[in-house]
Amino acid sequence: MNSQSIILRRYSKFLCIVTLFLIALGALVKSTESGLSVPDWPTTYGKFMFAYPLNKMAGGIKYEHTHRMLASIVGLLTLILTIWLLRIEKTPAWVKRLGIFAFLTVVLQGVLGGLTVLFFLPVWLSTFHGVLAQTFFLLVIFITYALSVERHHRWTIDEESYSQQFLQAAILLMVMVYIQLIIGNVMRHDQAGLAIPDFPTMGWTLFPSFDQAWLNRVNAWRFENNLDPVNMGQVMIHLLHRCWAFLILINIFWLNHIAYKECLDRPLILKTMYWLNIAVILQITLGISTVLSHKEIYTTTLHVTTGAIVLGLSFLMVLRASPLTWRQFKTLSTRNP
């Protein structure tokens, strides 16, 4: 592997880290409700973004404006990565296409970010913006793994063992986590994060009736805490987020069972499983803490960030459990056990 390939590999890893930091910063913007602190786009109070005076970055402006600047930097870094991939002749064609797709995705993400401001943060548009950020993160991870020494080394292994059952369970987990992030985005942008303000009870009872009287008790609490009332739809999206998290936890237990039964000869899978377990436990803890702390800013931000980490680790698990060619992957992942 020549020096250019080594630098490119490290560059792609750097882009992964910066993208995760951008997701965290975007979560902080939402947690502080700073999305409209800068009411114009693509300018910042009529000035070119990078010419805006630093001494005026106060209050919510510092979060929103910093988020915009970092997003622009990530876009530039992605453009550099794409051009780099296209210029290296030995880069597989599918990896070059991934690079182009990643760049188009980050451009669309930037436009959506601007539109959320211009249209005053509509729920559907803000949700699409948040979900696309996670999708872009997966694309960068995919490119990084495609360039990795690990994947290159796997080509030299004569016979690599695969578990069809584990791969299918890992794919299911990744899809479930992705769906959970969609639900979470809808919940956050629909102001439903405290639609059920207690845990483990729901509306101060283990078996809520979900009738008008029960909703009135919830809204009475919200009134006392200077929060706007919620409707039953907001309650249901919050409840769905909790229930789906429980289903993901069950899937994690099942995936652990399969891993230690069929993947003991795959240390990288076991290592990924270890970190995934830690991330899921942390994510559940942060989710509970978000409710109990009444959406404390940094707890909520860490909850969103850890969700992205769980998604990234679940995707890495799929990549490590999959064959290296599409034909083998399709055969292994779709055939009946």
206-226 pLDDT, tens digit per residue, is: 999 999 999 999 999 999 999
pLDDT bucket at 1, cuts 50 / 70 / 90: low
Lowest mean pLDDT among 162-171, 288-297, 302-311: 162-171
What is the model's pLDDT at position 191?
A: 94
CA 311, 314, 315, 316 dihedral sign is positive
Question: pTM here?
Answer: 0.94
* Model pLDDT for residues 96-121, shown as the tens digit of each residue: 999 999 999 999 999 999 999 999 99
Distance CA 161, CA 263 (A): 8
Helix pair 232-262, 212-224: axis angle to 10 deg: 90
Q: Residue 155 class from Cβ within 10 Å (0-12 exposed, 13-18 middle, 19+ buried)? A: exposed
Q: Is the CB of residue 320 less than 8 Å from the CB of residue 269?
A: yes
- Which of 178, 156, 174 is CA-nearest to residue 321? 174
- Which of 207, 186, 51, 76 is CA-nearest to residue 131? 186
Count CA atoms closer than 13 A to 66's CA, side-chain side.
Answer: 20
CB neighbours of residue 228 within 10 Å: 9
- Looking at the predicted structure, is the pLDDT value of residue 335 above 70? no
Lowest mean pLDDT among 65-69, 158-162, 241-245, 299-303: 158-162
Distance CA 208, CA 284 (A): 22
Preceding amide of 197 cis, omega within 30? no
What is the model's pLDDT at position 252?
A: 97
What is the model's pLDDT at position 89?
A: 83
3-class secondary structure per residue, the chain = CCHHHHHHHHHHHHHHHHHHHHHHHHHHHHHCCCCCCCCCCCCECCECHHHCCHHHCCCHHHHHHHHHHHHHHHHHHHHHHHHHHHHCCCCCHHHHHHHHHHHHHHHHHHHHHHHHHHCCCCHHHHHHHHHHHHHHHHHHHHHHHHCCHHHHHHCCCCCCCCCHHHHHHHHHHHHHHHHHHHHHHHHHHCCCCCCCCCCCCCCCCCCCCCCHHHHHHHHHHHHHCCCCCCCHHHHHHHHHHHHHHHHHHHHHHHHHHHHHHHCCCCHHHHHHHHHHHHHHHHHHHHHHHHHHCCCCHHHHHHHHHHHHHHHHHHHHHHHHHCCCCHHHHHHHHHCCC
- How does the average pLDDT of the chain come out, rounded? 93
What is the model's pLDDT at position 153?
A: 87
* Model pLDDT for residues 146-187, shown as the tens digit of each residue: 999 999 888 887 666 788 899 999 999 999 999 999 999 999
Distance CA 187, CA 12 (A): 32
Per-residue pLDDT, averaged over 120-137, amounts to 95
Measure Cα distances from 83 to 11, 15, 91, 146 in Å: 13, 14, 12, 16
Q: What percent of the chain has pLDDT over 90?
A: 84
pLDDT bucket at 293, cuts 50 / 70 / 90: very high
